[in-house]
Structure 1
Amino acid sequence: MSTLEEHIDVGVPLDTAWACLHRAEAYPRFLDGVREARSEGEHRTHLDIDAGGQPQECVVEITDRSMENVMRWQTTSGPDLAGTFSLLPIDEEHTRVQARFEYDPGTIKEAFGGPQGFAQASAIERGLRSDLQQLKRLVEQER
């Protein structure tokens, strides 16, 4: 398993960022490749994604450790992927969002048609950074 970690500081209170991460319908606005997302109960989300130009569906199980401000997610169908979003208050109006993405490079190549090796890791890292930038824009605009 490979792991990537990135963080970004957003100009909103922790509760605002936390609420955005839990609104499935907002995922297409900040997660590249997610075409549609809908909640299936309190802890499950169905995603329609673009996997290397091919439509694919997956279900994500979400587990909250709300006392620690950590949201963990794991696919239960589709490609085997997992990660966490951890929120850390900087002050009353600013929050650090830390994203951790866990993946098997072979799974990414097979499911998404991505390049191999270092190029693949670099592409995933750029994608994670881009997703966090889009999340920042979204939460700060909706404020």
Structure 2
Amino acid sequence: MASMHKSIEVNVPVKVAYNQWTQFEDFPSFMENIVEVSQVDDSHVHWHAEIAGKHKEWDTEIVEQVPDQRIAWRTMAGPENHGIVSFEPVGGDRTRVSVDIEYQPETTMEKVGEMLGMVSSNVEEDLENFRDFIESRGHETGAWRGEIH
């Protein structure tokens, strides 16, 4: 299993950053390789990505969700991964968004990409795109404030 930790500070209050992150179907707006995300129900999400010209699909289950603090997930079907996105106020209207992911590279190309740091770079770029997306809007596109334990 490979793992990574990335974080970024965004110039919006923690509630705004968290609320936007709960809008999974908006992820293609700021995640480069994500083609489509479908929220099946409160705790299940279907993902479709195109990575290096190859289509991948997987299903995740949200195993913990605490408003303004964290969202944790694990795969149910497809490429194995799990992780946590956490949200921390850092003063004023700034928030630190941190992503911790563990994943299993499947193909030789994915293993080489991992060794070259491509996955880590993609996550870092996605976080930068998230920052630009939410800061340019100044408010979230929606919110889900439920809890999952």
TM over 0.5: yes
AA aligned to 1:91 is: G
Structure 1 residue 118 displacement after superposition: 2.4
Structure 1 residue 77 displacement after superposition: 1.2
Specify every segment of 5 or more residues in structure 1 that has no aligned partner in the other structure, as ranges: none
Q: Does 1:123 align with 2:123?
A: no
Q: Which residue of 1 aligns with 2:110?
A: 114
SS in 2 for 1:128: helix
Q: Which residue of 2 aligns with 1:139?
A: 134
TM-score for the superposition, normalised by structure 2: 0.83
* RMSD of aligned Cα (Å): 1.8
SS in 1 for 2:101: strand
Deviation track 1:29-57 (CA, whole Å, cap 9, x = no partner) reads 12221101121111111111114312222
TM-score for the superposition, normalised by structure 1: 0.86
On the 8 A contact 2:79/2:104 being kept in 1, the answer is: no
Q: Which consecutive segments of 4 or more residues in structure 1 shift more than 3 A?
A: none
Q: Which residue of 2 aligns with 1:4?
A: 4
AA aligned to 1:118 is: M
| Higher helix proportion (structure 1 or 2) | 1
Q: Percent identity?
A: 23
SS in 1 for 2:96: strand
SS in 2 for 1:114: helix
